[in-house]
Amino acid sequence: MLTRWLSMKRWNNFPRIEDVSHLDNVWFVLHVALFLAHIEEDNWNKIDKEFLIKRIIFNSFPSLVLSDINSWTKDYILKNDKDIFINLETKALNYLLNKDWYSFLKDDIEKTFLDNSKQNELDIIYASKKFVWYKECEINSKVFSDMYDIPLRSITSELELLRNNLKSLDILLSNDNYLKYLSHIRRLSHSIRWNQQKRIFPISVMSHLVVITFISYVIWMIENNNWSKLDILDLMFRWLYHDIPETMTWDIITPTKKAVSWFEDVLEKVEMDMMNDYFFHYVWEDYKNEVYKYMLKPFDDKNWEIVKYADILSALFEAKIEVNYWSTNFKEIYRNIKRRVNSFNIPSVDYILKYWLDSFDDINFDINLKDY
């Protein structure tokens, strides 16, 4: 269903000056939530960041089945009959969990999806979604003010209420530098991968990071089930933060990086300089110290291979989608990446190649939820 994730556009029944995919939205919600979590922890409130990340990603799964019930309509449905909508989402989740996965994967997804005991984390997630919704609305309202007047006023009012109960949101909304930092982060939704190639399904760097995060999660679950002991929170931060320097440098392709000896090393230094000069200027020192290595040195650790495997697998799936839709310029790209992936000798990658890759050839347009 990756093609659905890429094809689903936010504000699809509104005129708009930018297209934000469902995946772009999910990643920005993730980053805002983690930013709020850092602020909360600076104020002595411990936050379960693993739950935060997993819950946001897993909560986005039902929309792959339900499709275009937009946030605005969803709010109205919830006001009318919350139980009905929960039942609908549960059916969509059950449809996905009924597929042939490892049971320990399905159990973890279902447990995380249904766990409503972590109130602080759930408050952060809700506030993050509303903030991201506000940013999308605010940008489009600058041109189509009459169309976005009602939703913008509604979201603004709700954020004002939420900030009274969530200290981190109040701090964020009161600090222009923090807002500028998140605006720069959001530029990743406009940085498009494979920028030299004609694409049928364009994917932003921001969307790519969500795909990597889920693939890495699956790799981590399988490897740990095979007696590996990997730190999932450390991995999650590497998954989610490692491409953020591209907000400054753009997505410079690997062949260019490797074209001249030592050019990659120069680029690393450039990334550090640009991030320090234009990016970390907006955040406080403790936050910078926390995320610096994940943004600028994500592969300087024993866990880096997992992130790299996920990165390459994501590229494989992106190329596979293009090939399936008759994009001839991706045929050689796909073959080259597949050769590389076939050289990885770990159980999780073998599983993904055996059970995931062929599923991209399946097309199922008719999803009937009555039996779920």
pLDDT in tens, 39-72: 999 988 999 999 999 999 999 988 888 876 777 7
Would residue 177 count as lying in a domain? Answer: yes
Would residue 32 count as lying in a domain? Answer: yes
Residue of 123, 97, 106, 119 whose CA lies nearest to 36: 123
Q: How far is CA 235 from the centre of its chain?
A: 14
Q: Terminal CA-to-CA distance of the chain, rounded, Å? A: 18
Would residue 132 count as lying in a domain? Answer: yes
Would residue 280 count as lying in a domain? Answer: no
Query: What's the domain range around 157?
Result: 1-190
d(CA 112, CA 101): 16
Would residue 7 count as lying in a domain? Answer: yes
- Which pLDDT belongs to residue 28? 97
Domain holding 181: CATH number? Answer: 1.10.3210.10
Residuewise pLDDT in 10s, the chain (372 residues)? 767 777 888 888 899 999 899 999 999 999 999 999 999 999 889 999 999 999 999 999 888 888 767 777 888 898 899 999 989 988 999 998 998 889 999 999 999 999 999 999 999 999 999 999 999 999 999 999 999 999 999 999 999 999 999 999 999 999 999 999 999 999 999 988 988 888 888 899 999 999 999 998 999 999 888 777 778 888 889 889 988 887 777 666 667 777 788 787 888 788 888 888 878 989 999 999 989 888 888 777 766 788 889 999 999 999 998 998 888 889 999 999 999 999 998 899 999 998 888 888 776 666 778 878
Alpha helices by DSSP H, the chain: 2-7, 22-42, 49-59, 61-66, 71-97, 103-114, 119-141, 145-162, 167-173, 176-185, 205-225, 232-241, 246-249, 254-257, 263-278, 285-296, 304-324, 331-342, 347-355
Question: What length does the chain have?
Answer: 372
d(CA 57, CA 270): 32
- Which pLDDT belongs to residue 253? 67
- Which pLDDT belongs to residue 141? 95
Number of domains forming the structure of the chain:
1
- Which pLDDT belongs to residue 137? 94
Would residue 211 count as lying in a domain? Answer: no
- Which pLDDT belongs to residue 284? 93
Would residue 143 count as lying in a domain? Answer: yes
Would residue 181 count as lying in a domain? Answer: yes
